[in-house]
Amino acid sequence: MSDPRLKTRKEGEIARVIFDRPDKYNAMSSEMWAAFPSVLASVADDPEVKVIILQGVDERAFVAGADISQFAETFPKDGGAANYLDIVHGAEDAISICAKPVIAMISGNCIGGGIELAIACDMRFASRKSRYGIPPANLGITYSLYSTKRVVEALGPSRARDLLYSGRLIDSEEALAWGLVDRLYDPDDLERETLDYARLLCTKSQYSIQYAKLTVRRILEGHEDETTELRKWRLDAWDAGDLQEGVAAYMEKRDPKFRWRG
């Protein structure tokens, strides 16, 4: 499944997924939510791609929430609300289960569903001019347990309640202090800094990075003991090749050339 408002662009080992609906500040229609997992998979499954960046088409918005104009038609239908929640959940989950690092590059408004997508990413780099909000109390809608849990994990319960209860907008400085975003940059520097970081990740062992992402996910799911899956990753590290190369490079005092792609 695809949607013309979800664009992809590949630049060497870095791929971008671009929310391209500028007339609606990239608000996500139900069709966009439904198409997002397959669009993300189309770049994640490329063996040459190591890092994925999500971004808005211009500096005005990352994603300014869901397309509210569809709600009056969607929600009253039999099963409409459940189906809508399922496709939003599917989009978020596609990011969290993606084996490769996904970075949200946030410029402009990041509201509601935009925050849901951004929080699902591994990291969030943002413009100092961006604004953030979670507006269910402004509309009378409800967030799923799954989505709310992510907000609570990112912000803590009190700050999550603040945004969910008030629907107010916060600026990037507050978002950084709260842990909603990880790094702030001047608007003119955001893209360069994000790409520089993505290129740094491309030089590292993808075996180690993908193992780390999987391990963090299992921790957030509540695992306290090492699973059989994670143990196999650790025991297979030498045979995968990157560990051999890393040790050899260290001993030979050179930069490693990691080749594992998964």
> pLDDT tens for residues 55-74?
999 999 999 999 889 888 88
The answer to whether the Cα torsion of 31, 104, 81, 134 is positive or negative is negative
pLDDT in tens, 216-244: 999 999 999 999 999 999 999 999 999 99
Q: What is the rounded distance in angstroms from the CA atom of residue 78 to the CA atom of residue 58?
A: 37
102 phi, psi to nearest 5 deg: -125, 125
pLDDT in tens, 33-63: 999 999 999 999 999 999 999 999 999 999 9
- Indicate the domain borders of the chain: 6-202, 206-251
**pTM for the whole structure:** 0.95
CATH 3.90.226.10, domain 6-202, yes or no: yes
Residues in Cβ contact with 104 at an 8 Å cutoff, skipping those fewer than 6 apart: 53, 54, 55, 62, 117, 118, 121, 123, 124, 125, 126
Q: Which CATH architecture has domain 206-251?
A: Orthogonal Bundle (1.10)
